Structure 1
Amino acid sequence: MSATPRQNSIEEPGKLAITDLKTGLSSQEAALRTEQFGLNELEQVKPESIWSILLRQVNSVIVWILAAAAIVSFFIGDTLEGFAVIAVILINAMTGFILEYNARQSMEALRKLDTTPARVLRDGKIKEVPSDQLTMGDILILEAGDLIPADARILEVNQLTVDESALTGESVPSQKSTDPSAEDTPLGDRHDWLFKGTAITNGNAKALVTKIGQSTELGKIATMVSEAKRTATPLEAKLDALGKVLIWVTLGMATLFLIVGFLRGQEIKQLIETAVALAIAAIPEGMSVVATVALAYGMLRLAEKKVIVKRLSAVETLGGTNVIFTDKTGTLTQNKIEVQTLRVAGNDFTIRLDTNNEGARKLEVIKGDQELIHSPDFEMLSRIGALVNNAQLDSKKSDRKELGDPVEVALLVYARASGIDLHKLHKDYKRQAEQAFSSDTRMMATLDLVGTDYFIGVKGAVEEVSALCNWDNPEDRNRELEISEAMAADGLRTLAFAYRQTDRKPGENFTNDEKLTYAGLIGFLDPPRKEVIKSLNACHEAGIKVIMVTGDHPATSLKIAKQVNLIGPEEQLVITGKELESFDFSSADDQNKMIQCHVFARVNPAQKLDMIDFYQKQGDIVGMTGDGVNDAPALKKSDIGIAMGLRGTAVAAEAADMVLKDDSFASIVLAIEQGRVIFENIRKFIVFLLSCNMSEIFVVTFAGFLNVGSPLLPLQILFINIITDVFPALALGVGKDNKKLMKSPPRDPKQPILQMADWKRIVFYALVMTISVLGVYWYAINQLGLSPEEGNTITFYALSLAQLLHVFNLYSGKLRFFSNEVTRNKFIWMALVLCILIMFATNYIPFFRQILSLQIIDINSLKLILAAGIVPVLVIQAVRILYPIK
């Protein structure tokens, strides 16, 4: 049944008017309007350039210090050292560049939505034109299966339902009509509008194009995606803050050393060389490389679990996340309508449809009398739902292939699960007539011939269907109306069912010939995903706040939130998008209400951005999950955007930092755990690297102040930093998982990567190694009478060995020295073997010995080196026994 076309209610930008609703625009007029208003396409955002990605890899304080050290080295003639430092910078930059290169286009997926052809009425004929050639004033001709190419006002409609979940987040298809909606009506309730990028699931329509390209709702979202700016990730910010600390330490030590040396009358070139050595010693050159490799290793681990990380630092960011905004449809739910609640012959049932090992659906009664599902009344309700239906399922037992309105598909799935043979049913019941659903009648009815009898089935709104039925008591009908309202308030979409069987052929208006028999009510719901409850419980245990943000109905959102244990059974607080419009985020009351609420409904994309911004300003690290076009801006704005790969749109996937290929919320928990492990590993190897580097600073500085010579040369320090330090640090960075990390709250995002206790340990570790190494150096020079060159060689190898063995001091907590996460890490042992072989190579291969200015070591020197390397471990372990680390 078609509604009468109306022109007087159409409000277009620029007050456009077409000349004739029956013939549409002329080709000439369409061309003029295309020239005036442009093509119906989204603006192309220039992707991040290759040079921009590369520049980001070298734009850090640590790199600047190294570059300055290289320049000074060239200036004073130490070209070998200068080139060595530059090589370190380039290796780190290329590693990060290669791993981030594939994430530079965030808007291309939006443009892919513009490739669908469109059918329009032009010159009095239906023509197919490219969607980018549509213009304002065109009349669209739309049918089931079409992707809507522009925003349009409905002129005529016939049983039209549209899947708008990607745009609004509402899982139930929207039924469309020509009834005008108010200007402030939420997007999901504008039943007289069609929106670009949504899909027609049933019926057909004519509609007048009123918005194209960037002015459409999809275009507005595209603009928000391009305008949503990513902030520096927590790890990037923390490493940058650490780099600033190191630069002041470097400048302070170098300046102090230069002043003292100048006052002593030392040679300027020697002072500068020593200052460069201090700068190189202060900077852990391998830190950026190790952090990059640790994150990349985490990426590979997650990829094996079907979690694709697009931005390297996103792995660690998720580990620090303490607030997660999650969409409802497709994330917490299956994005698939199912029968959930039934009312038959005065009895209420709650059912669940489970899939068995063969793929067939099995009906399980959760609430209600199990025996009554075998009653004739229950069977009749199932039969009506299958007959008054135009959807299709495949002929197999599985329900995976389906066609038609999702609610009608749900009725067929439910009927099959209740024991009805759909093939036999449609063979026995031969359809004779149909009264299609319309916004006027709010019902659908079918007339079937079964044997010599006629069967009339009706489904629709409870008010209209119950009015056609025979009631013994008017109170009975009122009771059904009240129950239907209660089900709707509980987040369910309800349909009532009625029937009549007669041996007389009904008239054309067969639903009104005689009173019908009321069969019952069915409530539909998008069921929650099974694994979500366990995953949310894990988030709660890990101290992560999970907030549902959806465009769906408030009651539906609240019900799902309770079903998945997102909130408690008694909690009723839901904030809608309309309420958010009046919020003052500077008000303490509104802030408290925001923080207390875990369910936000009827929220538009712009409000999602405001909510994320609110929590980010509170100092939280915000994660956002989603799968629809409407989620894309929030995915990009959040600290870590997580898109669903199976059900999600390409737009969401491109805007996100991570994509879950299995759409499993459980994968988020896995990624959080992996992120926490990576951060702990990064913290651990930074403590290792800084304690090693500080020992180098102390060795050079103390030797200079004591005027006992130069025990280490700049190139020797650089060699230690990029070889004998980096490999053990890498092994620490790829350490195994620590399940205990998910039993505690996330770390405070406001705190630096290293706490005061970490700095105390770093200084202590460095002092112990320094005293041991300088003691050996002093003994070799003053007691054994070795030359400065031989003393320098002993110092180089002694410090290298002390730093290599220092890795065994980095285990966590109160674990035993011979059984902990370090000693069980096979990569640690591989790194030690490799580094020891490299140390032998530097002494026995003349080329390396000459570059590093080393002397061949003898047995006595080897004893001193072993003593200097082992003593720090013994001292540190003794202190750990007396003062254990918590």
Structure 2
Amino acid sequence: MRTDTDPSPGAEKTATVAGPSPGAPDAPVRQLPAADVYTALHTSRRGLAPAQAQERLKRYGANELPRARRRPVWRELGAQFTDLFAVVLLVASAITFLAYGLQEPREVGTLQLAVAILAVVVLNAAIGFAQEYSAERTAQALEAMVPHTCRVLRGGERLEVPARDLVPGDVVVLEAGDAVSADCRVVEAHELAVNNAPLTGESNAVGRTADPVATGPALEARNCVFMGTDVVAGAGRAVVYATGSTTEFGRIYRLAAAAPRQKTPLQHQVAVMARRVAGAALAIGALMFAVRLPTGQSVVSSFVFALGVMVALVPEGLPATLSVSLAIGVRRMARRQALIKRLLAVEALGSTTVVCTDKTGTLTQAEMTVTRVWAGGVTHAVTGVGYAPDGEVAEPGPVRELLRVAGLCCDARLVAPAGPRERWKVLGDTTEGALLVVAAKGGVELEAEEEAAPRVTEFPFDSDRKLMTTVHKAGAGYQACVKGAPVELLARCTDREWDGRRGQLTERDRAAVVAAGDELASQGLRVLAVARRELDSPRPAQDEAESGLTLLGLVGMLDPPRPEVTDAVAACRRAGIRIVMVTGDHPLTGEAVARRVGIVQRPDPVVVTGSGLDGMGDEALDALLAEPSELLLCRVSPEHKMRVVTAFQRRGEVVAVTGDGANDAPALKHADIGVAMGAAGTDVAREAAAMVLLDDSFASIAAAVRLGRAVYQNIRKFLVYLFSHNIGELVPILAATFAGFPLVPISAVQILAIDLGSDVLPALALGAEPPEPDVMDRPPRSRQERLFSAAVMGRILFLGGIQAIGVTAVFFWHIGASGIPFDDFTKDTPVYREAITMVQAGIVLSQFFNALAVRTDRQSIRKVGLLSNPALLAAGGFGVALMAAISYLPPLQTVFNTAPLTAGDWAVLAGLGTLPLLADETRKAWLRRRDARRKGAPR
């Protein structure tokens, strides 16, 4: 038969067969009477026979969502070699191996160079793979949400079976507190209510019925329950009609799987940078080959020379440095309860310009709480948040009877925490849980009251009446306790009792009650009215029990915001990040919560519902998002969320989306950075997201944005550090070429030793610099902003130029002081070996001081402290020690063709090395003076 999972408007149509075999009626099972459902799904009230269940399990497959396809490990590792830098170096290594084979005689140095370049590529790939693999596997360790077991009837026997073994036709037994394991048609309902928040975003309990309903969106069918939701009240039985990926939960999962994963701004910037650097390296290498060839050098030697130039320009250590720096950000965020699944998502957070956040469970605690009690014109405030009975009702005496009656008219139960890490929970309807808590806060001992007034009968909540009534033994008579929608209940009241004084309910009183209800509702509160009636019979007719009532008052409740969210929203506002609430909840509720947490501050926010979005074309939607107004999107579907995210991205925004339900998954995946809740979130949401908040706190987003911005700043710092010394390596080679010197001032193997041996660790230490104090007071950078901005390039040329002048001067000074003609120099000439050793040592020492210079953009190094980053000092010391080993140890002298340096040589090089730091301190001082003059303030 056809599935009973018709999507909501705008969703894809599901054609997958969800029920058994042919012969089933054309009408969806929700339109059938309960008795006919068994026939339609080829089962019975006793459930399937065990043999039938096994046959259907083979036929329909396990009741589980398909695992996300992951590339095999070998492919993930292979992907590390497709980076443009890696490709350039692999080609260079291959050609160098070829050059070694063509050389006559063959030079060991050429073979060493080929092996060294290949080793660099392998090392970078190993580091990048290790970091990505570690982050991904950590994310996979999160538990799935779908329950592991459920209760079914099979052959008339009640059994507990694994949820994955459910099949269409199984009769499921449902009770308060159960998680629903498949999409089912309810056939018996006893005050049954479910929480559909994971699918719809609305946290209110929704009553279920066994009666047939008219056709319409599946999620609105009151006689169906869905995978991933929870039973919050009552009991019932239901017949499974859809399992696994054919469920509503599975439909959203497929929608999320189809959404493309967006590239982060850093991915775009690194790709652009790699193309430009690789292009420049190849062009300059080709130019040097063309210049050297006419001088009489052989083709092979000219090529090896050109290759050295190219290697000098390619930052071999950059991929590894970038991967490890992002990994440092991952670990820092993990300490703030934010699990990053993809390394590049760390930096994307720092680029975020828009956060689309849902409400329930993200901004709020998903725990209904009574905050106001009204009676007789007086509003009593209630303190405390959540289901813990901590807090009090202001002046509880006048409303004690109201609280007693409200507490008795409840089926839910409070569950105390079983351990120090657990919280109070509600077994049953969350609204009733809030009433039990407020009764306890008002001093009502409900257990004693229930013993004194035991329940004898009840009339469950009905969506038509919008009331619930319980009848209790009260002394010699009986008493009806009623709660429900204010309008419906007020129409059935004839009296009122306020502050212990009973009287007739006048028109003036009615107007006061309506006004009070409207006032509470305008604050975003869900309002219930409470009343009672004295009865003579324990089994009154429903109309008798619910008429001639005495009104006791009103209660107003809400799902309270998380206490830390307000500060987090304020921090995002200061950082120039726009926050848009995107929720499936009612507009009034959404606006009230948005005001409480600071998302809405103006009197006239723009509120658009899902139906309003359906009526907008793309141009109208773009115009709406372009307005600088405070925007709330309510009653939206998964398709609406994805459309909004796409529209923001069209405008060049970097979009973060938060969510915890399966309905959030498509938007989470499509966003630049999807942020899922780890504790209360669904497995579908966690799978789709790039970041998971282990503590479900929106405040962790603001902290993660701060760390993400710091990561980008640190990436720029080590880019300046890495590329500035490339200039120091390239300029001496170019100077030697145009001066007619036959040999290179620094070999390709020496360059690789600097790039990987001396530069990587300081670059990593720069990547661990803490965020600057004002990082959240700056606007987010534009998506179009280049990684190599004019300021960054200027600083690279400034610092690299000083290094280049120093080491070039040292080289030619040492060569010239020997008095040996250029043409007489060979690789084995002692003076030449000393000169190239001084060039390498000069670059290493300059980079040590350069690392100190680039730690800050404007602040003096004296203000941040020379010793405030001990890892940087240690890394720089390691580089100098490695350089000393290359200079003095015979085995390394053989590999690098170096010679021992004297104390005087080291002194000269140290003096030249300080020049970049001194020059940059002078530049920073000038910038600070200029800024002070512009602001008209003293320095």
TM-score by length of 2: 0.85
Output the CA distance in 1 between the equivalents of 2:863 and 2:649: 41
Match of 2:375 in 1: 344
1:598 to 620, 631, 649: 631
Match of 2:88 in 1: 65
The range that moved more, 19-28 or 630-639, is: 19-28
The range that moved more, 35-44 or 853-862, is: 35-44
Could you tell me which amino acid in structure 1 is paired with residue 314 of structure 2?
Answer: I
Overall identity of the aligned pairs, in %: 32
- Give the Å deviation of 1:538: 0.4
The structure-2 alpha-carbon separation of the partners of 1:785 and 1:818, relative to structure 1 and needing over 3 Å to count, comes to farther
Output the CA distance in 1 between the equivalents of 2:417 and 2:620: 59
Output the CA distance in 2 between the equivalents of 1:574 and 1:477: 31
* Contact 1:772/1:872, CA 8 A, preserved across alignment: no
The answer to whether the aligner puts 1:87 opposite 2:119 as a matched pair is yes
Secondary structure of residue in 2 paired with 1:512: helix
| 1:765-784 matches, cutoff 5 A | 765-784=799-818
1:615 to 629, 648, 651: 648
- Give the Å deviation of 1:28: 7.8
Could you tell me which amino acid in structure 2 is paired with residue 519 of structure 1?
Answer: L
Match of 1:382 in 2: 403
- Give the Å deviation of 1:159: 0.9
- Give the Å deviation of 1:39: 5.0
- Give the Å deviation of 1:74: 1.4
**Aligned-pair Cα RMSD in Å:** 3.3
Match of 1:299 in 2: 330
Output the CA distance in 1 between the equivalents of 2:627 and 2:62: 41
Secondary structure of residue in 2 paired with 1:363: coil
- Give the Å deviation of 1:332: 0.3
| 1:695-774 matches, cutoff 5 A | 695-708=728-741, 709-774=743-808
Could you tell me which amino acid in structure 2 is paired with residue 820 of structure 1?
Answer: V
The structure-2 alpha-carbon separation of the partners of 1:344 and 1:212, relative to structure 1 and needing over 3 Å to count, comes to same
Q: CA-to-partner distance for each residue in 1:100-122, whole Å, 9 max, x for gaps?
A: 224557899897627433524x6
Q: CA-to-partner distance for each residue in 1:480-533, whole Å, 9 max, x for gaps?
A: 35654665565433322112357x555533872673211112222111111111
Could you tell me which amino acid in structure 1 is paired with residue 86 of structure 2?
Answer: V
Output the CA distance in 2 between the equivalents of 1:829 and 1:70: 33
Could you tell me which amino acid in structure 2 is paired with residue 85 of structure 1?
Answer: I
* Contact 1:645/1:662, CA 8 A, preserved across alignment: yes
**Structure 2, unaligned runs of 5 or more:** 1-24, 101-109, 496-503, 821-830, 932-939
Output the CA distance in 2 between the equivalents of 1:101 and 1:380: 61
Match of 1:575 in 2: 608
- Give the Å deviation of 1:439: 4.1
Match of 2:439 in 1: 415
The answer to whether the aligner puts 1:553 opposite 2:586 as a matched pair is yes
| 1:729-878 matches, cutoff 5 A | 729-785=763-819, 787-820=831-864, 824-878=868-922
Secondary structure of residue in 2 paired with 1:620: coil
The structure-2 alpha-carbon separation of the partners of 1:206 and 1:463, relative to structure 1 and needing over 3 Å to count, comes to farther
The answer to whether the aligner puts 1:216 opposite 2:247 as a matched pair is yes
Q: CA-to-partner distance for each residue in 1:583-627, whole Å, 9 max, x for gaps?
A: 221447654478745221222222222222222232222212222
The structure-2 alpha-carbon separation of the partners of 1:507 and 1:858, relative to structure 1 and needing over 3 Å to count, comes to closer
Secondary structure of residue in 2 paired with 1:818: helix
Match of 1:363 in 2: 392
Output the CA distance in 2 between the equivalents of 1:403 and 1:238: 51
The answer to whether the aligner puts 1:196 opposite 2:227 as a matched pair is yes
Secondary structure of residue in 1 paired with 2:774: helix
Q: CA-to-partner distance for each residue in 1:343-386, whole Å, 9 max, x for gaps?
A: 21233445332589xx751136xxxxx5xx3443x111111111
Output the CA distance in 1 between the equivalents of 2:164 and 2:147: 7
- Give the Å deviation of 1:313: 1.9
The structure-2 alpha-carbon separation of the partners of 1:444 and 1:862, relative to structure 1 and needing over 3 Å to count, comes to closer
| 1:312-327 matches, cutoff 5 A | 312-327=343-358
The structure-2 alpha-carbon separation of the partners of 1:264 and 1:183, relative to structure 1 and needing over 3 Å to count, comes to farther
Count of matched residue positions in the alignment of Structure 1 and Structure 2: 867
The structure-2 alpha-carbon separation of the partners of 1:853 and 1:614, relative to structure 1 and needing over 3 Å to count, comes to same
Match of 2:318 in 1: 287
- Give the Å deviation of 1:56: 2.8
Could you tell me which amino acid in structure 2 is paired with residue 363 of structure 1?
Answer: E
* Contact 2:853/2:916, CA 8 A, preserved across alignment: no
| 1:625-704 matches, cutoff 5 A | 625-704=658-737
Output the CA distance in 1 between the equivalents of 2:444 and 2:417: 13
Q: CA-to-partner distance for each residue in 1:308-358, whole Å, 9 max, x for gaps?
A: 2222222211111111121211110010011133321233445332589xx
The structure-2 alpha-carbon separation of the partners of 1:680 and 1:822, relative to structure 1 and needing over 3 Å to count, comes to farther
The range that moved more, 862-871 or 177-186, is: 177-186
- Give the Å deviation of 1:646: 2.4
Secondary structure of residue in 2 paired with 1:547: strand
Secondary structure of residue in 2 paired with 1:352: coil
Could you tell me which amino acid in structure 2 is paired with residue 738 of structure 1?
Answer: E
Match of 1:117 in 2: 150
- Give the Å deviation of 1:683: 0.4
Output the CA distance in 2 between the equivalents of 1:192 and 1:94: 55
The structure-2 alpha-carbon separation of the partners of 1:46 and 1:496, relative to structure 1 and needing over 3 Å to count, comes to same
- Give the Å deviation of 1:136: 4.3
Output the CA distance in 1 between the equivalents of 2:886 and 2:814: 20
Match of 1:468 in 2: 492
Match of 1:519 in 2: 552
Match of 1:261 in 2: 292
TM-score by length of 1: 0.90
Could you tell me which amino acid in structure 2 is paired with residue 763 of structure 1?
Answer: L
- Give the Å deviation of 1:30: 6.6
Output the CA distance in 2 between the equivalents of 1:295 and 1:589: 34
The structure-2 alpha-carbon separation of the partners of 1:182 and 1:849, relative to structure 1 and needing over 3 Å to count, comes to farther
The answer to whether the aligner puts 1:144 opposite 2:176 as a matched pair is yes
- Give the Å deviation of 1:401: 4.6
Output the CA distance in 2 between the equivalents of 1:305 and 1:323: 21
2:278 to 223, 230, 247: 247
Output the CA distance in 2 between the equivalents of 1:564 and 1:617: 28
Output the CA distance in 1 between the equivalents of 2:254 and 2:265: 26
Output the CA distance in 2 between the equivalents of 1:821 and 1:291: 25
The structure-2 alpha-carbon separation of the partners of 1:822 and 1:668, relative to structure 1 and needing over 3 Å to count, comes to farther
The range that moved more, 844-853 or 169-178, is: 169-178
1:75 to 90, 98, 101: 98
* Contact 2:523/2:592, CA 8 A, preserved across alignment: yes
Output the CA distance in 2 between the equivalents of 1:853 and 1:818: 39
